[in-house]
Copies of this chain bind each other. A is one copy, B any other.
Amino acid sequence: MFISFFIKEVNMKRYNVAVVGATGLVGLEMIKILHERNFPINELVLIASESSEGKKLKFGEEELNVQSYEEGIFSEIDIALFSAGSAVSKKLAPIAAKSGTVVIDNSSAFRMHNDVPLVVPEVNADHIFEHEGIIANPNCSTIQMAIALNPIYRTTKIKRIVVSTYQAVSGSGKAAIEELTNQTMAVLDNEEIVREVYPHQIAFNAIPHIDVFEDNGFSKEEMKLIHETRKIFNDDSIKINATAVRIPVFKGHSESVYIETESKIEVDEIKRILLETPGVKLVDELKTSKYPLAIMTKYYDEVLVGRIRKDLHVKNGISMWIVGDNLRKGAALNAVQIAEKLIEKGLE
């Protein structure tokens, strides 16, 4: 059943790890990051849908076979990283958890469950150990905002947030990358565009519609930003308003974030604490046109923060521009970092 076997450091405890949804954009990134970060793997099991069975994926120099789910597949797995959508998570995560595997789930299926910690390691690593078999990875747009705001929140509570997002199509998977590519060429060639992933043309457009709409007029993506941020900070007093928008960018979510803090904090002080914050890179030098950009996520795993400025009319109001890699820190990297924290404290 296990298709690979590694012993790199004999004295280090090593774990059996599964990636569920291994052939998706986030799954592939998880495999890459596990290798990059030299995660102490004993055996790595790659699971995907039946249609991907038999495919081979690279793990460093090795080639591993992709398997489909079968009963008992989790029995010897210590940690399973799930990124195969909510439906698969709802079905398989409880099975894995029951067999003793710790599931780190990238879907929205369990995020708001009371007995499921929702974790950004830089922000609330202490929540990890409250798990009962499942730990949830927050939504990509939530993770980058939480990381950037956390050091400010620790200095002076944040009373409110108004966020508008500029989200990349890779958040919708491979088909969306293809759709943006194809539609872009069609528009430039003055040909008919084809829509499959998005309800409207995404090429050279901005679509204020991510995930489904709820009865209150907000989209589910917007509600994730609201609910998940409150859960991560364990603070339901933060007033949050969100607008989630898809734009024709391949990778890297950008966010225009306005906050109001409880007490006064100067821009220089914010810059100083962000400079000291792991996982954050301050990019804020207006004279040389330096500020975070979606295309920079090619080079940085950190969340990029810039354009920090004081509101001109509202006391303790601050604006900033936050950019993050939606596939890595926004998904795969955060999940692997949760796994690292788990084993750091000793996984049972």
Contact = CB atoms under 8 A, between A and B. Distances in A.
Interface of A: 160, 162, 164, 166, 181, 184-185, 188, 199-201, 204-209, 213, 216-218, 226, 239-241, 243, 245, 247-250, 254, 256, 258, 267, 286-287, 289, 291-295, 306-314, 317, 319, 321
Nearest to A214: B286
Given A188-B181, A241-B317, A309-B216, A293 B204 contact: no
B286 A217 contact: yes
A297 to B, nearest CB: 10
B256 A321 contact: no
A217 B166 contact: no
23 contacts: A160-B313, A160-B314, A162-B258, A166-B166, A184-B188, A200-B293, A200-B295, A204-B250, A204-B294, A205-B295, A206-B247, A206-B293, A208-B306, A209-B289, A217-B309, A218-B309, A218-B312, A239-B311, A239-B313, A239-B314, A241-B258, A243-B321, A247-B247
B208 A256 contact: yes
Given A243-B319, A319-B241, A254 B206 contact: yes
Contacts of A240: 312-313
Contacts of A207: 293
Given A240-B313, A241-B311, 9 more contacts: A164-B164, A200-B289, A201-B293, A208-B256, A213-B286, A218-B309, A241-B312, A243-B321, A256-B256
The number of times this chain is found in the oligomer is 2
A45 B206 CA distance: 38
Contacts of A267: 217
Contacts of A239: 311, 313-314
A292 B207 CA distance: 8
B247 A248 contact: yes
A205 B310 contact: no
Nearest to A314: B239
Contact of A256 (B164, B205, B314): B164
Nearest to A244: B256
A290 B314 CA distance: 34
Among A216, A245, A287, residue most surrounded by chain B Cβ atoms (within 10 Å): A245
Contact of A312 (B166, B226, B294): B226
In the complex, the 9 A-B pairs of residues with the closest C-beta atoms, listed nearest first: A217-B309, A239-B313, A164-B256, A164-B164, A199-B289, A213-B286, A243-B256, A166-B206, A208-B321
B216 A294 contact: no
A162 B289 CA distance: 23
B245 A166 contact: yes
Nearest to A215: B286
A319 B162 CA distance: 10
A310 B200 contact: no
